[in-house]
Amino acid sequence: MTQQTWFITGSSRGFGRALAEAALAAGDQVVATARKPEQLDDLVRKYGDQVLPVALDVTDRPAAVAALDAAVARFGRLDVVVNNAGYANVAPVETMSEEDFRRQFDTNFWGVYNVSTAALPVLKAQGAGTVVQFSSIGGRVGGTPGLGSYQAAKFAVDGFTRVLAAETAPLGIRYLVVEPSGFATDWAGASMRIADIPAEYDPTVGSLVRNFDGMGVAAGDPARAAEILVRVAKREELPSHLLLGANAVEMAQEYSRGRLAEAAKWEAVSVSADFGRAYPVELPVGQA
């Protein structure tokens, strides 16, 4: 339970803010980044030199490198790098503007890429460090109408992190992908823009928006989740993925059971594609 130094993106609100507060309350040091670092002034007043606020737009790679350099210059090392910054706008894939789709992807994936790769030289030199990537349960199960860019980016973050973990396995760097379900943050509030939804997409994307409106307070407590992550980061052994929230667990288990059942149903067809296997084989019973 030694003191750790955290680097957290998107620290002004939501999960990033809760995590910064939990780490500081645990006696750790925090480099808290935000587009507007003045939003972190209250943390500085409360924790003094224990926290370093840094301006950072994660889509700006040179700024990410500079922020990490400032972190090391101040605290001497980095123990936990958290890629939390992200947001979602809602629209059908067909009608969402390409600019909006790309802008979301720039933050939700390329921001993770920028910070992760900028941190690697520091973590390699130390021979130790943990990278925490915030995904979502949607980054595992997908298929949420209206969230095409957001969920595509979260799938990309997961794949990217799996490769990083394999490449850097001998170098002492650890990775944790966090997959929350609904939490009481402003993810579906002020930070989200909902586009006009064409009538033909009302049963799918429109239904999602109406669910947002009727959702009330989400079940997940960001403060509890943050405290859990601070405790987990201090463990010698990490899970590769950490589901947060009962709904995340239920959705992940249902999704996995469905994929296993589908793979088993189509197994004979799948293996018949290899040389030396029986071919052709009957397709599974069902619709032609």
Packing angle between helix 111-126 and helix 61-75, nearest 10 degrees?
A: 30
Burial of 32 (0-12, 13-18, 19+ CB in 10 A): buried
Which residue shows structure tokens 């794949």? Answer: 159
Q: What does the domain layout of the chain look like in residue ranges?
A: 5-269
Cβ pair 201, 157 in contact under 8 A: no
Supply the pTM of this predicted model: 0.94
Cβ pair 70, 51 in contact under 8 A: no
- Confidence (pLDDT) at 213: 61
- Confidence (pLDDT) at 1: 54
What is the CATH code for 5-269?
3.40.50.720
Distance CA 55, CA 9 (A): 10
DSSP 103: H
Which residue shows structure tokens 């690697």? Answer: 120
Query: H-type helices in 180-240, by residue range?
Result: 207-214, 222-233
- Confidence (pLDDT) at 183: 86
The pLDDT tens digits along the chain (288 residues) read 589 999 999 999 999 999 999 999 999 999 999 999 999 999 999 999 999 999 999 999 999 999 999 999 999 999 999 999 999 999 999 999 999 999 999 999 999 999 999 999 999 999 999 999 999 999 999 999 999 999 999 999 999 999 999 999 999 999 999 999 988 777 666 678 998 999 999 999 999 888 876 454 578 899 999 999 999 999 999 999 999 999 999 999 999 999 999 999 999 999 999 999 999 999 998 765
User: Which of the residues are catalytic?
Assistant: 135, 150, 154
